[in-house]
Copies of this chain bind each other. A is one copy, B any other.
Amino acid sequence: MIQSLAATERTRVRRVPENADYSQATLLAVIDAAWLCHVAFADANGTHCMPTVCWREGDYLYVHGSNGGRLIKLLALGVQACVTITHLDGLVLARSAFSHSMNYRSAIVYGVFESVDDEAAKRASMAALMEKIAPGRHSEVRTGSVKEFNATTILRISLAEAACKVRSGPPVDDEQDMGIAAWAGVLPMALRPLAPVPDAQWTLPDPAYVSAWGR
């Protein structure tokens, strides 16, 4: 696995370049912390941006969907795509209005998707998604039938052309604004698990991944 990503014309961060992060470790961490990504692509009707579930295996980001979906059909044709993941970590309040910012971790991936066609690979990939959602759950559910797998397209995109942008920490005000009596600091936020809501028909003890959710 490569340790650092070479910036390309598309991935070189121009705005606030000190927030750019081209390390492989940051990229994988941003992707692995995400449940969904936004995928941009173009067709005859214009440029589109669609949210979808994502997961990672090795140096690839995966998405999936019904064969008939517009997103899936176009991506499977190999149209150029841009995948973006953004975690918002906080509002950064400075003494000057124009020094306000946000703390965040974002990743952007450019490339084309390729479909995963081998049935064993498709099954392994869906198992990996289930393992991300709930460790140990794959052995409990009814796994996909041949018909269900045949109706589903699994796509992956290489992480070779990618970059991250990360901001953290307190606000940065100009020296001449430091005397202004406005609260300055960070209002942090995070995507947090809330109490599980079991289906009305569930009567058995909760599995570990449910008991651990929201703790």
List the interface of chain A (C-beta within 8 A of B).
Answer: 9-10, 14-15, 35-36, 38-42, 45-51, 53, 65-66, 68-70, 80-84, 86, 88, 90-91, 93-98, 100, 102, 104, 106, 108, 110, 126, 130, 133-134, 137-138, 140-144, 148, 152, 170-171, 177-178, 180-202, 204, 206-207, 210, 213-214
Task: Answer whether A69 and B14 are a contact pair too, CB < 8 Å, given A80-B47, A84-B50.
Answer: yes
A109 to chain B, nearest CB (A): 9
Residue of A51, A66, A183, A206 with most partner-chain B CB within 10 A = A183
The 8 closest A-B pairs by CB, nearest first: A40-B40, A40-B49, A184-B199, A140-B182, A185-B198, A51-B86, A188-B194, A49-B84
A166 to chain B, nearest CB (A): 12
Q: Cβ of A50: which chain B residues have Cβ within 8 Å of it?
A: 84, 108
Are A193 and B187 in contact, with the CB atoms below 8 A? yes
Q: For A194, give its contact among B66, B189, B213 (CB under 8 Å).
A: B189
Q: For A197, give its contact among B53, B82, B188 (CB under 8 Å).
A: B188
Complex: A183 Cα to B84 Cα, angstroms: 32
Task: Answer whether A41 and B47 are a contact pair too, CB < 8 Å, given A15-B65, A96-B142.
Answer: yes
Residue of A15, A69, A171 with most partner-chain B CB within 10 A = A15
Smallest CB-CB separation from A50: which chain B residue? B84
Q: Cβ of A200: which chain B residues have Cβ within 8 Å of it?
A: 170
Q: Cβ of A53: which chain B residues have Cβ within 8 Å of it?
A: 102
Complex: A37 Cα to B199 Cα, angstroms: 32
Are A66 and B192 in contact, with the CB atoms below 8 A? no
Complex: A165 Cα to B35 Cα, angstroms: 17
A12 to chain B, nearest CB (A): 10
